[in-house]
């Protein structure tokens, strides 16, 4: 796919994305931290792609690098058939692609009213002709996410966590985007509020024709909202398949262990299920193992796993796995 435009059904295409950060590891010595290492995927129009993995695997970095909040070390990002490689294409991309951040407490400016927070993208991209149109747009956005329009003059600290996240979602919708990166949007919220926010995101997707990259570490939450799921480990993509296929027939040993940790509400089935506990600790991204990054914790590892990093290959129709021993 590298160097070629995706087909018309694909809204976002990522080819061989890499994001390395220089880290000072001693006197006059710098080591590259490989947060994202050669990741490729595509997202169809109107689809939700879930991205899961444990903390520190590079999920959030993928989302931020896609939106060019970090400049990619290498790789290509295509949006709506155009490669994002110039100031003009980036400016247009930034209007049509937005992000909902993980922490609703730190992602909102405490010195700004709700109206000013929501209207920030409107002002930046000059989307309203006058104050009256701006105010009407703010009130429409607030009602879209279930907020009272009378709260527009209040400040973010006066709201609960769930309400703050709704303010963040309203801000993301302000520029009329087609693509939204949801970076763990419910992980900081109570379980009862999580369900409300996820249902609201699904309703907004149907109403506005949105496309999502939904990042989370809870695979059961991702399964609920996603059409397809991608699994990451230590900066690499391990598996990619439809939500049903991946949760019912996981192929990669890492995905199998993740699925075994999902609680089952039926006590009898839960007792029969065997939890697969991974041995050892996650290696440091500064010292990624040679070959397959998962081999130091994999009970199926063989000699080839140490020598060569496995490439994503199609194990079943639409089911891609990066493993030598599938």
pLDDT tens figures, 293-312: 999 988 888 999 999 999 99
> Domains of the chain: which residue ranges?
10-226, 252-326
Q: CA-CA distance, 185 to 188, in Å (whole number)?
A: 7
Nearest CA-CA partner of 115 in 176, 191, 167: 167
Range from 87-101, 174-188, 273-287 carrying the lowest mean pLDDT: 273-287
| Neighbouring C-beta atoms of residue 275, cutoff 10 Å | 9
What confidence tens digit (pLDDT) does each residue in 27-85 have? Answer: 888 999 999 999 999 999 999 999 999 888 999 999 999 999 999 999 999 999 999 98
Q: CA-CA distance, 114 to 304, in Å (whole number)?
A: 56
Q: CA-CA distance, 312 to 237, in Å (whole number)?
A: 8
Q: CA-CA distance, 222 to 225, in Å (whole number)?
A: 6
Q: How much of the chain, in percent, has pLDDT values that exceed 90?
A: 69
pLDDT interval class at 6 (50, 70, 90): low
**Tokens representing residue 89 in the block:** 């294409």
Q: What is the pLDDT of residue 211?
A: 97
Cβ atoms 318, 246 nearer than 8 A:
no
pLDDT interval class at 266 (50, 70, 90): low
> Which CATH fold topology does 10-226 show?
Rossmann fold (3.40.50)
What average pLDDT does the chain have? 90
DSSP states of 128-181:
-SSHHHHHHHHHHHHHHTT--GGGGGSBGGGS-HHHHHHHHHHHHHTT--SEEE
């Amino acid at each position: 796919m590298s160097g070629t435009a995706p087909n018309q059904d694909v809204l976002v295409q990522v080819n061989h994305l890499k994001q390395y950060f220089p880290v000072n590891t001693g006197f006059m010595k710098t080591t590259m931290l490989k947060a994202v290492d050669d990741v490729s995927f595509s997202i169809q129009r109107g689809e939700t792609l879930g991205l899961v993995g444990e903390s520190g695997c590079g999920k959030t970095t993928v989302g931020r690098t896609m939106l060019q909040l970090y400049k990619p070390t290498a790789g290509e990002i295509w949006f709506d058939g155009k490669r994002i490689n110039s100031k003009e294409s980036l400016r247009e991309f930034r209007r049509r692609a937005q992000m909902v951040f993980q922490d609703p407490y730190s992602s909102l400016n405490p010195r700004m009213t709700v109206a000013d927070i929501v209207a920030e993208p409107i002002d930046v991209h000059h989307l309203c002709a006058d104050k009256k149109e701006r105010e009407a747009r703010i009130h429409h956005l607030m009602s879209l996410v279930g907020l009272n329009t009378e709260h527009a003059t209040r400040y973010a600290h006066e709201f609960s966590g769930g309400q703050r996240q709704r303010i963040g979602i309203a801000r993301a919708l302000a520029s009329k985007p087609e693509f939204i990166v949801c970076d763990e949007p419910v992980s900081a919220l109570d379980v009862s509020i999580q369900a409300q926010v996820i249902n609201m995101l699904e309703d907004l997707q149907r109403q506005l024709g949105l496309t999502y990259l939904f990042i989370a570490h809870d695979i059961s939450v991702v399964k609920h909202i996603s059409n397809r799921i991608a699994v990451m480990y230590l900066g690499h993509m391990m598996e990619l398949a439809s939500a049903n296929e991946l949760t019912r027939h996981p192929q990669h040993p890492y995905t199998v262990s993740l699925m075994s940790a999902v609680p089952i509400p039926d006590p009898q089935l839960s007792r029969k299920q065997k939890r697969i506990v991974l041995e050892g600790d996650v290696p440091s991204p500064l010292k990624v193992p040679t070959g397959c990054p998962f081999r130091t914790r994999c009970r199926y590892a063989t000699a080839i796993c140490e020598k060569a990093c496995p490439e994503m290959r199609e194990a079943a129709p639409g089911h891609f796995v990066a493993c030598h021993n599938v």
